[in-house]
Amino acid sequence: MPARAYFVTGTDTEVGKTYATCALLSALAAKGRRAVAMKPVASGCTVNAEGELDNEDVLAHAAASNVSAPRAVVNPYAFLPPISPHLAARDADVIIDFNHLRQNLDTLRGMADVVLVEGAGGWLAPVDDERTMADMASALGLPVILVVGMRLGCLNHALLTVEAVLASGARLAGWVANQIDPDMRRAEENLDYLKQHIAAPLLGFIPHGGRAEKGQSNQVQILEPRLETLMQ
């Protein structure tokens, strides 16, 4: 049976997609599943001692995963400037090839039970002047996991993103709430509202300051019965 794979997107940039991805990786590994992540496009990289481009999201994925995969497979496109990936790719005269991404995803599916593909930015963040992360998810044929950054305004952002995901024809497999604002008022009531209005399971909750790397995922509340839905 081919590995399950999901596209992880967010209500915005900096809402905790990587924390959520790492938390899910750790939880899946703890259930005895081979879990690995893919970051198709990453910008804001640094050069390591071997002259390779390191990205902190990719390194976090590797630490939380229990599958060792080549860097070029898990992160096919990496750019130095900390700018929107579509601008970084344009400056480097690189075209993001969706066929190449599919090949890499197929490779990872042969190595794991579950593959989490983390996008950059939000659902409609551009890949280039014509395509978006939504187009990438569609080209890869993946259901979606949405990470909601819990802060003032998140209800509108979350429901608009859910609407856009469904309008694209993608399936919303679940969502993760990440409390990025420690002082958010009535946070529990906002979370309850989203539970009532998002027709997909809440997979987990990340408290403010929660870390999701290997060995620290106990701070992240992954709802195990719902985690099972990702493996069916």
| Residues marked as catalytic | 39
Distance CA 172, CA 150 (A): 19
Distance CA 183, CA 151 (A): 8
DSSP string covering 161-223: HHHHHHHTT--EEEEEEE---TT-TTHHHHHHHHHHH-SS-EEEEE-TT---STT-GGGSEE-
Distance CA 222, CA 220 (A): 6
Distance CA 160, CA 157 (A): 5
DSSP string covering 9-70: EESSTTSSHHHHHHHHHHHHHHTT--EEEE-SEE-S-EE-TTSPEE-HHHHHHHHH-SS---
Distance CA 56, CA 142 (A): 24
Q: Which of 9, 7, 218 is nearest to 125 (CA)?
A: 9
Is 126 strand, coil or helix? strand
Token pair of 29, please?
């590994």
Token pair of 123, please?
């659902």
